[in-house]
Every structure is written in C-alpha cells, then in structure tokens.
Amino acid sequence: LASIVNALGLMRSKSGREQAEFRGVIERQTKLLARIVDDLLDVSRITRGKIALKKEVLDVNRVVARTLESCRPLIDAHKHAVELRLPNEELPVDADSTRLSQVVLNLISNAVKYTPEGGRITIAVSREDDEAVLHVRDTGIGIPAVLLPKVFDLFVQGDRSLDRTEGGLGIGLTLVKRLVEMHRGSVSASSGGLGEGSEFVVRLPLALGRGVATGPAKEEIPRAPAMRRRLLVVDDNRDFADTLGALFETMGHDVRIAYNGTDAVSATAEYRPDAVFLDIGLPGRNGYDVARILRSSPELAGITLVAFTGYGQVEDRRRVREAGFDYHIVKPADATELAKIVDELPVKA
C-alpha cells in the first residue's frame, strides 16, 4: 500500500513519461495485493470447507505448459533460464483445471522469487506407477533443514532478502498443499540447504482408463461490432463506481452511475442502457433484488446484467445465475475482460 500511496503522490506533481512509470508501480502493486487477498481467501475457504472442485479429466502436461507460458513475463524479468520436460504420453488426472493451474503457478512463482537473477528453473512431468509427478527445481537460495518440516505451514517464510519487492505473506505453499490434498495427492519439499536450491514434488493419482476432456464444441455467438455503448455502473463504493465509469468512457462508451439499488432501478428505466454493471453487496436493495426487479419488467428484461462481487465460489455463482445475471465478475476485474464483455453485447434492433 505504501508504494501505491507514494506513486499517487508523485503523479500529482509529475507528467508525461514519469506519470506512466508511476502508473506502472500502481498496477504492479495492485495486482500483488489482489493476489495476496485471493490466496488468503482461498486458504480460509478451504479451511471452512467452502471450496468445491469442478473436476474433469485433464492432461497434466497441458496444464503445466499453459501455466508456464503465463509465467513467462515474471521469469524473463528475473532473467532466469527455464527447462521444461514433458513426457510423450498424456497423463490424465481427475482435477479442477483452475485449481491445478493455481498449484503450478504458485510453485513456479516461488522458484522465481527465491532464485537470484540469472538462475535456472527446471520443471519436469513424469509418470511413476499410477501417479502423475510434477517436479519444480531451482538453483535458488535453498531451504534450511530446520525450516523444511514447516515450509507448508501458514505464514512460514525463509530468507526474505530476495523477495521483498515481490511481497507475499508465506501463504502460497500452504495453498499448494491444501489444494493438492483436495485432489487426493501429496506434495513434498527438499533442499540441500542454504545456497543449494530447492525442489518441490507434487504427486497426483492418474485417472486410468478415462479420456482427457476436450470440452464440448462451443456455439458460435454473434458478436456486435465495436461501437459506442450505453452502460450503467452501480456500486455503493463511489471511488470504484466513478473510476470504472471513467474507464468505460476512455473506451468510448456513454456511461451513467448509480450508488444504490433504488437509484439503479430508476436509472435503468430512464436511461435504457445496453448493460448494467451491478455490485451484489449494495446496502438495502442489493444486487440480487435489483436484478430480479429488472428481469420482471417486460421493458427492461432484455438488458445485459453483469454481477460484480468479491466472491466466486459455486454457491455465489448459483445465486447470481438464479437472479438473472448474464455475467459474473469477481473484483478486481481486468480491463481487457470488461472490454470483451462490452464488445460481445448484442446489437439492438
């Protein structure tokens, strides 16, 4: 937070290229804070039994390769060399794609952070008996022997000298362990000691005799051409509502803003937007109530409704769907994702 506050203060007195640099600081730190909060929420939800896995048969090789590609900017920024070893055969496991990717992402991120610049990271997948095995090995600072038995405990961290700029609370490995165990697997850590690097090994049971899911063919949805849209933003957090509205305006759209559920209903009836971006946690008349009111009106029922919420679990998505929303966005939303939703809005006759 201190980095963000400092950058904002500097932006008030700077312009041009210097402002762009400070905006980059804010963007990086905001993404970091969002990830920390997400990890904390996930650990809390797992502890309370609130996470339900959406399992399907997946090829571990594909998940690892895809996740590694998403980590390339982070790896390149640290000038690390990466070696990926994948077997020629598919290794099917019964897993939640998002959560399995989260496991791989946290292990790779951990290796990147705790390896001095210009290090080497090796990621290898193999089959051992009836298990798919993932190895993530680095040439980093290593783990002291006294810390190894505790490395998966919540808030446990080793030498922070390398990762201070990356932040973190020591929860990533805890999340890895709990997610792997939810998949009936195991994870272990080993190290030769300080300066000797470390290795993490994940073992998952193979889904033998079952084919990898390729997913049903998606129906082609007609997309509207890029055009100026009428958008209503509803959130009781005025800073959030105003900045989101400003973001949509920079995309070339016409925007109205409401700060409570009652005003949202009247603004929708008056303004007739193409889409309403609606916060669920409004005081009084909440987002679910507003959605049901709009869906019950013949004149307003066809408007696209986008739910904004801090929760993305199965029960939350069910409630959003039953209330009549077309989209469910977990805060903080990415600008690219929002632009895609607006671009996909149907063209009115």
- DSSP secondary structure letters along 150-162: GTTSTT-----TT
Distance, in Å, from the CA atom of 338 to the CA atom of 325, rounded to the nearest integer, reads: 15
Q: Which of 44-48, 227-231, 232-236 has the lowest mean pLDDT?
A: 44-48
- Position with higher pLDDT, 214 vs 323: 323
What is the torsional sign of CA 340, 292, 331, 63? Answer: negative
Q: What is the mean pLDDT of the chain?
A: 82
Q: Is 319 exposed, middle or buried (0-12, 13-18, 19+ CB in 10 A)?
A: middle
| Domain contains 167 | yes
* The total number of structural domains that make up the chain: 3
Q: Phi then psi for 341, rounded to 5 degrees?
A: -60, -45
- Position with higher pLDDT, 332 vs 189: 189
User: Tell me, what amino acid is at 26?
Assistant: I
Residue 264 reports pLDDT greater than 80: yes
Distance, in Å, from the CA atom of 240 to the CA atom of 243, rounded to the nearest integer, reads: 5
Distance, in Å, from the CA atom of 22 to the CA atom of 12, rounded to the nearest integer, reads: 10
Structure-token pair, residue 273? 């937007």
| Domain contains 212 | no
Distance, in Å, from the CA atom of 135 to the CA atom of 122, rounded to the nearest integer, reads: 8
Sole residue written with tokens 């973001």: 247
| Domain contains 158 | yes
198 and 63 share one domain: yes
What is the CATH classification number for the domain harbouring 294?
3.40.50.2300
Instruction: Return the DSSP state at 274.
Output: S
Among 189, 205, 221, the domain-final residue is 205
Distance, in Å, from the CA atom of 118 to the CA atom of 79, rounded to the nearest integer, reads: 5
- Give the tens place of pLDDT for each residue, 59-106: 999 999 999 988 888 898 899 999 999 999 999 999 998 889 889 988
Residue 163 reports pLDDT greater than 60: no
- Are 61 and 87 in contact, with CB atoms under 8 Å apart? yes
Distance, in Å, from the CA atom of 115 to the CA atom of 110, rounded to the nearest integer, reads: 9
- Are 89 and 208 in contact, with CB atoms under 8 Å apart? no
Distance, in Å, from the CA atom of 144 to the CA atom of 157, rounded to the nearest integer, reads: 11
| Domain contains 313 | yes
Distance, in Å, from the CA atom of 88 to the CA atom of 77, rounded to the nearest integer, reads: 30
Structure-token pair, residue 304? 């696209």
Please tell me whether residue 296 adopts helix, strand or coil conformation.
Answer: coil
Distance, in Å, from the CA atom of 284 to the CA atom of 90, rounded to the nearest integer, reads: 52
Q: What is the dihedral of CA 250, 256, 261, 263, to 10 degrees?
A: 160
What is the CATH classification number for the domain harbouring 65?
3.30.565.10
Helix, strand, coil shares of the chain, percent, nearest 5, are 40, 20, 40
- Are 127 and 87 in contact, with CB atoms under 8 Å apart? yes
- Position with higher pLDDT, 244 vs 20: 244
The number of residues making up the chain comes to 349
| Domain contains 39 | yes
| Domain contains 224 | no
240 and 319 share one domain: yes
Residue 245 reports pLDDT greater than 70: yes
Give the pLDDT of residue 73: 83
pTM: 0.55
Residue 52 reports pLDDT greater than 60: yes
Q: Which H or E run contains 203?
A: strand 198-205
123 and 248 share one domain: no
Residue 292 reports pLDDT greater than 70: yes
Most trustworthy range by pLDDT among 42-46, 248-252, 265-269? 265-269
Q: Name, in order, each residue with C-beta under 8 angstroms of 37's C-beta and a sequence gap of 6 or more.
A: none
Residue 162 reports pLDDT greater than 50: no
**Structural domain boundaries enclosing 23:** 1-49
| Domain contains 213 | no
Distance, in Å, from the CA atom of 285 to the CA atom of 261, rounded to the nearest integer, reads: 5
Residue 195: left (phi > 0), alpha (psi -120 to 50), or beta? left
122 and 144 share one domain: yes
- Are 48 and 57 in contact, with CB atoms under 8 Å apart? no
Distance, in Å, from the CA atom of 98 to the CA atom of 95, rounded to the nearest integer, reads: 9
Give the pLDDT of residue 84: 96
